[in-house]
Amino acid sequence: MDFTAFYERIDGETFRATPATSSPWDDRLQHGGPPTALIAHVVRAVHPRDDMRIARIASEFLGPIPVGVMRVKTRVVRPGKRIEMVEGTLECDGRDVVSVRLWRVAVQREGAVPPGVTPPDPVPALPPPDARQHWITTSGYGQAIEWREVHGGGVLGPAAIWGRTRVPLIAGEAHEPIDSALVIADSANGISGELPMGEWLFIPPSLSLALQRYPCEEWVLLDARTELTGDGLGMTSLRLADADGWFGIGNQALLVERRG
């Protein structure tokens, strides 16, 4: 790898994307995961709320995202003591390329809510370092993450893969587990492809996640399944977990078409 982070900070709201963000679809463009994580990171820094946690994040990809210099703009759309909405926009070359809306919900003291009646699903263990890995892409994004497969990934169909970022989100700044989770989550449609990636495009215009808590460690499990229609649409559903259990769910709508 010839990069040490996904982004370099230029000033308080301006960043330069490194090759670590480059997409497997086109190395001149960014993968959707790093920009989503960057906007959420800036929102938490500019609008800190220790009494709240992100419960939902919806990232809308408004067009191609160049690997270049960009500006992050944020605003509180709906302030509140118990529920709050914050918006972040990524601007590049004078146009908005990503829009993210985040719902934050007030947290209570631990134990304020009793456990539910349904036992949690078990989480597959993290495979050893020498486990065989099929899901390794040549893109900068693919190389910037260490992948360990539970099943699928590299073969068509549903997949479950553990991943952790090899580099921080922003050079020289603290990297949190939630940053890694948001970088990795947008890979759901890629790891669970139902058609060969070399012959078909299946591009998500958005990513929507609901989080019941933040991950507590760097390794994140991405479990994904994709379904297709015969007329060019698709849908990917995903779950996120760490060693303590499942912490998030999400979905992606897909544009599906033959390459070329």
Residues 57-100 pLDDT 10s:
999 999 999 999 999 999 999 999 999 999 999 999 999 999 99
What the block records as the tokens of 200 is: 């078909």
Residue 210 maps to a domain: yes
Which segment, 5-9, 132-136, 151-155, is predicted with the most confidence on average? Answer: 5-9
**Domain count for the chain:** 1
Residue 2 maps to a domain: no
State the CATH number of the domain containing residue 55.
2.40.160.210
CB 135 within 8 A of CB 159: yes
CB 89 within 8 A of CB 99: yes
Which domain, by its residues, includes 138?
7-107+131-258
Residue 135 maps to a domain: yes
Residue 115 maps to a domain: no
Residue 112 maps to a domain: no
Q: Would the pLDDT of 137 be above 80?
A: no
Which residues are CB-neighbours of 22 under 8 A, at least 6 positions away? 28, 29, 30, 31, 67, 139, 140, 141
Residues 218-246 pLDDT 10s:
999 999 999 999 999 999 999 999 999 99
Residue 143 CB coordination number (10 Å): 18
* Residue 154: predicted pLDDT: 77
Residue 117 maps to a domain: no
* Residue 197: predicted pLDDT: 86
Residue 40 maps to a domain: yes
Residue 126 maps to a domain: no
Helix (H/G/I), strand (E/B), else coil: 40 = helix
